[in-house]
Amino acid sequence: MADEEEERALENQLELQLLEHQDSLSALNDALASDPSNPELLSVQEELLQFRVEPEPLEDQCYSIGSKCRFRHVDGRWYNGQIVELVCSDTAKIAFLTPTSENMLICKFFLQERCRFGTSCRLSHGVDVSLSALKNYVPTMWDQSLVGSSIWALSDSNVWHMEES
Which spans of this chain sit near Zn ion (rule: CB under 5 A)?
107, 110, 115, 117, 121
Closest distance of CB 126 from Zn ion, Å:
10
Measured from the CB atom, the residue of 42 and 96 that comes closer to Zn ion is 96
CB-CB contact of 86 with 63 (8 Å)? yes
E strand or H helix at 43, and its extent?
A: helix 39-52
Closest distance of CB 82 from Zn ion, Å:
17
Q: Which residues contact 4 (CB under 8 A, 6 or more apart)?
A: none
Measured from the CB atom, the residue of 111 and 133 that comes closer to Zn ion is 111
Closest distance of CB 125 from Zn ion, Å:
6
Number of continuous H segments (helices) and E segments (strands) in the chain: 3, 6
Measured from the CB atom, the residue of 107 and 127 that comes closer to Zn ion is 107
Measured from the CB atom, the residue of 42 and 107 that comes closer to Zn ion is 107
Closest distance of CB 14 from Zn ion, Å:
43
Q: What angle do CA 134, 25, 49 make, to 5 degrees?
A: 15
From CA 19, how far away is CA 139, in angstroms rounded? 29
